[in-house]
Amino acid sequence: MHDTIQTQESTEKATSVIEVDGVDFCYGDSMALKGIDLKVPPREIVAFIGPSGCGKSTLLRCFNRMNDLVPGARVTKGTIHVNGSEIHSPEVDPVELRRRVGMVFQKSNPFPRSIYENVAYGPRISGVVDKGEMDGIVEKALKGSALWDEVKDRLDESAFGLSGGQQQRLCIARAIAVRPEIVLMDEPCSALDPIATAKVEELILELRREFTIVIVTHNMQQATRVSDKTAFFYLGELVEYDQTSAIFSNPKRRETEDYISGRFG
Ligand code: ADP
């Protein structure tokens, strides 16, 4: 019996791409996350929902140590494993971690360069020098982000000439060009109109075939449309984490029900 439990536990560990255990996080003296436990399975889409300031972006930015760039910000308790490695251990190089755990931001942020160069930037830093190989990588990433047909005849033009929705898909192409294992998305559609949003959501669902995705969203319909699992945060705590259908149809906690039914937030 005990053996069976151990086997189940080790299988679960092996199949979690991200595993957060008992994490507290502080900005200086101010605690932003308390006692977070969370497991993200491979090639699933997990949505983080909850009112502003409840810690969703902070936790997301923990996964690729983006918070290291904020003075005084740190994990004060607990561990975060990405594919089995504790990301704060000395063997983990944060730059390499950020290649494995890519990020797409709320506001698209293409570089002031051509469409081609935006996608080629990461692979070039990773050491790709051959032009033919680079052309292949750029084409694959742009196809993967459903942008290729719209830009294939203007790859040398400035990325700033693209529409807002196209720029966001270019940023997704840039993130996937280095073949990350995980793509983090922090409200990727909040600056987009409904048509561009629908395209990006369709793309997110496509990307699940190859990548594990964690998405912060304020839009609960978006969480129901794109995610497999949903985590509801409130005041720095993870209140409830379950299959998205269960969170939205049958929440177990009162706070979750109040939030999804629009009673606060
Ligand atoms: P959410 O993504 O849910 O809106 P955040 O993770 O951005 O929440 O913020 C969680 C808490 O941490 C908030 O109280 C916020 O004010 C604080 N916080 C976020 N970023 C910083 C920062 N760079 N410095 C200090 N406090 C911050």
Q: Is residue 33 scored above 50 in pLDDT?
A: yes
Binding site membership of 26 for ligand 1 (Cβ less than 6 Å) = no
- Write the residue with the smallest CA distance to atom 19 of ligand 1: 58
pLDDT at 79: 98
- Whether ligand 1 lies within 6 angstroms of the CB of 27 is answered as yes
Tokens of 178: 């280095």
Note whether 56 and 48 are within 8 A (CB). yes
Q: Is-above-0.85 flag for pTM?
A: yes
Over residues 51-66, the pLDDT tens digits come to: 999 999 999 999 999 9
Pocket test for ligand 1, best of 23, 57, 187, 217 (most atoms within 8 A of CB): 57
The alpha-helical segments, DSSP class H, found in the chain are 2-15, 56-62, 94-100, 115-125, 131-144, 148-151, 164-176, 194-207, 220-226, 244-249, 254-260
Q: What is the mean pLDDT of residues 186-203?
A: 92
Q: Given this model, what pLDDT does residue 5 score?
A: 43
Res 264 pLDDT > 80: no
Query: How does residue 13 score in pLDDT terms, banded at 50, 70 and 90?
Result: very low
147 to 55, 143, 165: CA distances (angstroms): 32, 6, 10
Is 199 in contact with 146 (CB distance < 8 Å)? yes
Does residue 6 surpass a pLDDT of 70?
no
Q: How far is the CA of 95 from the centre of ligand 1 (A)?
A: 23
Nearest CA to ligand 1 atom 23: 70
- pLDDT score at 10: 45
The pLDDT-based confidence of 245 (bands split at 50, 70, 90) is very high
Work out the mean pLDDT of the chain and round it to a whole number. Answer: 93
What is the pLDDT averaged over residues 239-256? Answer: 97
Say what angle helices 164-176 and 131-144 make with each other, to 10 degrees: 130
Res. 3: pLDDT tops 70: no
Which of 2-6, 28-32, 71-75, 169-173 is the least confident region? Answer: 2-6
With a 6 Å cutoff on the Cβ, whether 231 touches ligand 1 is no
- What was the pLDDT predicted at 4? 42
Residues 221-244 pLDDT 10s? 999 999 999 999 999 999 999 999
Q: Give the pLDDT mean for 172-180.
A: 95
Report CA torsion sign: 36, 39, 40, 46: negative
Mean pLDDT of 94-106: 94
Q: Is 130's pLDDT higher than 90?
A: yes
Is residue 252 pLDDT above 90, yes or no? yes
Centre of ligand 1 to C-alpha 26, Å, is 10
Residue 2 has pLDDT above 50, yes or no: no
The average pLDDT across 111-139 equals 96
- Cβ-contact 214, 56 below 8 angstroms: no
Q: Which atom of ligand 1 is nearest to the CA of 186?
A: 2
Identify the pLDDT of residue 263.
Answer: 81
